[in-house]
């Protein structure tokens, strides 16, 4: 309990400070706070991450729309946001005695299917995005969303490999928002900070879920 309270206070303080520095306190600060806390509570196997994730995805979708990243906007609003409700309900049915989610792992066959699906989906979506006038960074946009979707699905299904997927997605997201920030995109500096925060917490989540998995065995 004390650890969670400490993390919450730190995340809120970082979000407020970053929001003031980037002149994006309301939307950007809320995105950073909910994003960091969502990733942290997911790494701890707590259901509340899905409530925070719903708020985070809706706001991030809005920022993506302002920056003509229509693939990210569509996925955040119509795919990732509803997935948070599904994830909460699924985790609620698969809790251990400490109210932490029960963790699963998959085989090499699962890994090959996931990689192939991400690559194929990215190529198809990337092509479709190039047909939208004003779309920027179509291939990176598509690749980020497909990998992120795989990670979301795997987390909903309680697979620990979701964290590996998200580490790859973190690198792509960093590239997208660095390029957008260099072009002085709307709210891009805060989104870059969110991506960096996700990277750090996802590394923590990867380690934590593998520890949980070893203990459950």
In this predicted structure, the answer to whether residue 51 has a pLDDT above a threshold of 90 is yes
Please give the Cα distance from 192 to 25 (Å, whole number): 14
Name which residue leads in pLDDT, 62 or 147. Answer: 62
Lowest mean per-residue pLDDT among 17-26, 94-103, 106-115, 159-168? 106-115
Give the model's pLDDT for residue 62: 92
CB 159 within 8 A of CB 104: yes
Query: Could you tell me which residue, 214 or 150, shows the higher pLDDT?
Result: 150
CA distance 196 to 53: 17
Q: Could you read off the pLDDT of 21-48 as tens digits, one per residue?
A: 888 888 988 988 998 899 899 989 899 9
| 103-155 pLDDT per residue, tens | 888 777 777 887 788 888 888 888 888 888 877 778 877 887 788 788 888 88
The tens digit of pLDDT for each residue in 172-197 reads: 878 888 888 888 777 777 778 778 88
Per-residue pLDDT, averaged over 189-212, amounts to 84
Read off the pTM. 0.78
216, pLDDT greater than 70: no
pLDDT of residue 194: 77
Q: For residue 105, is it left (φ>0), alpha (ψ between -120 and 50) or beta?
A: beta
Q: What is the mean pLDDT of residues 53-78?
A: 88
Q: Report the alpha-carbon distance of residue 13 to residue 24 in Å, rounded.
A: 14
User: Could you tell me the two tokens for 78?
Assistant: 């119509």
- Give the pLDDT of residue 90: 93
Q: What is the mean pLDDT of residues 78-101?
A: 89
CA distances from 148 to 26, 62, 68, 134, 165 (A): 25, 17, 19, 23, 7
Mean pLDDT of the chain, nearest integer: 85
- Give the ranges where 22-107 is alpha helix by DSSP (H): 27-43, 48-66, 70-75, 81-92
| Statement: residue 217 has pLDDT above 70 | no
Of 58 and 130, the structure prediction assigns the larger pLDDT to 58
């Amino acid at each position: 309990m004390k650890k969670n309270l400490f993390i919450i206070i730190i995340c809120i303080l970082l979000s407020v400070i970053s929001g003031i520095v980037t002149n994006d306190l309301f939307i950007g600060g809320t995105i950073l706070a909910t994003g960091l806390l969502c990733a942290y509570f997911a790494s701890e196997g707590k259901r509340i991450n899905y409530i925070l994730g719903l708020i985070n995805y809706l706001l991030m979708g809005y920022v993506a729309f302002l920056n003509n990243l229509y693939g990210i906007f569509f996925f955040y609003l119509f795919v990732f946001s509803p997935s948070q409700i599904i994830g909460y309900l699924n985790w609620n049915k698969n809790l251990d005695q400490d109210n932490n989610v029960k963790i699963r792992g998959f085989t090499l066959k699962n890994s090959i299917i996931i990689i192939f699906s991400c690559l194929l989906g990215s190529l198809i979506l990337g092509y479709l995005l190039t047909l939208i006038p004003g779309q920027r960074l179509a291939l990176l946009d598509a690749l980020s969303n497909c990998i992120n979707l795989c990670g979301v699905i795997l987390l909903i299904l309680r697979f620990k490999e979701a964290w590996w997927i998200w580490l790859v997605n973190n690198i792509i997201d960093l590239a997208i928002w660095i390029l957008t920030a260099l072009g002085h995109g709307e709210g891009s500096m805060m989104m870059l900070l969110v991506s960096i925060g996700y990277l750090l917490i996802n590394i923590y989540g990867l380690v934590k879920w593998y520890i949980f998995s070893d203990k459950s065995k």
